[in-house]
Amino acid sequence: MTFVDFPILSALIFFPLVSAVLIMVTLGQPERVALNSRYLAFWGAGGHALLALALLFVFDAEKQGYQFVENVLWFAPFGIRYHLGVDGISLGLVLLTSGLTLAALMCSGGLTHRVKEYMAAFMVLECFVTGALLSLDLVPFYIFFEGVLLPMFFIIGVWGGKERVYASLKFFLYTLAGSLLMFVALVVLYHETGSTDIILIERAGVEPSLQMLLWLAFFASFAVKLPIWPFHSWLPLAHVEAPAAGSMMLAGILLKLGAYGFIRFSLPLFPDASVYFAPFMYALSVIAIIYASMVAWQQEDMKRLIAYSSVAHMGYVTLGIFSFTVQGLQGAMMQMISHGLLSAALFMGIGFLYHRVGSRDFAVYGGVARVLPLFSVAMMVYTLGSVALPGTSGFVGEFMVLHGLWTAQHSTWAVAAASGVVLSAVYMLVFYRRIFFGKQGDKVATLAPLTWTERSLLVIFATLVVLLGLMPMLYLDTLQGSSAQMAPLLDTLRAKAGGA
């Protein structure tokens, strides 16, 4: 086997799974098992990260199309193929998955309850997410995409807070309901085109009249996942009840799968329907930005606030995708990566506080800035990123999305969406102020100092946020090939939409 033939994508997907299997078969004294499963999980996530870095290294950013393609017949009767490939759009998200899984594991140091199963769940999660990002056939994609629900269901349901059972059920059933429609659409697609391979389907094209229904079915699934207003109500609850590491994965990566679905499937497979429904998407996105921001402002629970802010931020992502411009698409990708870092970092920070104080209520806090300066500075950086202050990663994405939207002559939507500039400042500053400034809460004065793990995580996230803000080309460069490849499609879509 030469270097080129090494199935790096399969390795990426199944390395964590192997680690999960190994974790499940560890036996012995409970403490030993806990320790060993921790080690194994780190091996799994670390290996995944190394492979992802290697992939980044050998990835040719300027080349169009999918790279490192693996394509074998898997289920012969239906011609379903095990078809993998990576391009700029999936690469960044795979890297994000790697990084956040590692960070989530590092944040779980204090866990004592069922460590073995917890670690295994995270490994399975990483495997499924990577699989969903790399699959180019709808059937494997669907399996991975749905599979993601299972480990997350357990992470919330077993290691969550007081209302974890309700939260996890709502999360599971809601997302499942959306996905089932996608499954039906998948069957129809196979029936119509005789294939489930997205490249083949795109080449064959789908009847425009059929596209509408199929688009809506896919929409149901992605809209719940993303989530798009008004399908978001599972999200705040799931976040509030999930353990910190779970929230990090949920906000950081799982939400991105919905947006990824729109880019990878809805746009190329159903171009006519995408154009037809674009105004509908604009409306929902803008409502999400304004509405979720206002709801976020009124929250008393820190995690709920950040959860709602995610809904608002995802509004920019969908706006960017459906602006049908390269800027908009790149902006949406940038916004996804940025939000992946920021929301994960914010949930992580809240986790540190919750771990020490045992409450997520703003009322308990206040004056933390006097006690934990490094923590306060790092959280300030994340807050500013969320506010999209220029110089942080949040700004570049938002600006590109708005610019793309206006370029496509949707200035009214751009103006409406830009109101997020004011609203995000309101809720994020309220968030920061109530925790860090003001009268010191009772338990705040005696907060335990940060551990070195926590410190380094805080610094790493803050550095990444600023670095991507100052030099976004580090990421945007990896999108070159994909953008060039998507450009003709986007131009056609824009022409169909009647824009310039």
The residue ranges that bind other proteins (CB under 8 A) are 170, 173-174, 230-234, 291, 294-295, 297-299, 325-327, 330-331, 367, 369-370, 373-374, 377, 384, 389-391, 396, 399-400, 402-404, 406-407, 409, 411-412, 414-415, 418-419, 421-422, 425-426, 429-430, 433, 436-440, 449, 470-473, 476
What is the tally of helices (H) and strands (E) in the chain? 23, 2
- Round to whole Å and give the CA distance between 122 and 106: 12
Q: How far is the CB of 384 from other proteins (least distance, A)?
A: 7
Contact 248, 240 (CB under 8 A): no
From residue 366, alpha-carbon distances to 66, 359, 363, 387, 436 in Å are 50, 13, 8, 21, 5
Sign of the dihedral defined by the CA atoms of residues 474, 479, 481, 487, in that order: negative
Q: What share of the chain is helix, strand, coil (3-state, %, to 5)?
A: 75, 5, 20
Contact 266, 218 (CB under 8 A): yes
C-beta closer to other proteins: residue 53 or 473 = 473
C-beta closer to other proteins: residue 69 or 173 = 173
Contact 196, 77 (CB under 8 A): no
Sign of the dihedral defined by the CA atoms of residues 337, 340, 343, 346, in that order: negative
Can the peptide bond before residue 230 be classed as cis, meaning omega within 30 degrees of 0?
A: yes
- Round to whole Å and give the CA distance between 176 and 406: 36
Compute the C-alpha angle 498/499/500, nearest 5°: 125
Q: How far is the CB of 293 from other proteins (least distance, A)?
A: 8
Q: How far is the CB of 157 from other proteins (least distance, A)?
A: 17
Q: How far is the CB of 15 from other proteins (least distance, A)?
A: 33
Contact 256, 96 (CB under 8 A): yes
Q: How far is the CB of 291 from other proteins (least distance, A)?
A: 6
C-beta closer to other proteins: residue 56 or 425 = 425
Contact 94, 12 (CB under 8 A): yes
Q: How far is the CB of 445 from other proteins (least distance, A)?
A: 13
Residue 486 in tokens? 């998507």
Q: How far is the CB of 441 from other proteins (least distance, A)?
A: 12
C-beta closer to other proteins: residue 345 or 369 = 369
Which stretches of 59-114 are DSSP H helices?
88-106
C-beta closer to other proteins: residue 15 or 406 = 406
C-beta closer to other proteins: residue 265 or 395 = 395
Contact 408, 323 (CB under 8 A): yes
Q: How far is the CB of 246 from other proteins (least distance, A)?
A: 20
- Round to whole Å and give the CA distance between 144 and 318: 22
Q: How far is the CB of 96 from other proteins (least distance, A)?
A: 19
Residue 137 in tokens? 């056939």
C-beta closer to other proteins: residue 221 or 299 = 299
C-beta closer to other proteins: residue 56 or 374 = 374
C-beta closer to other proteins: residue 165 or 415 = 415
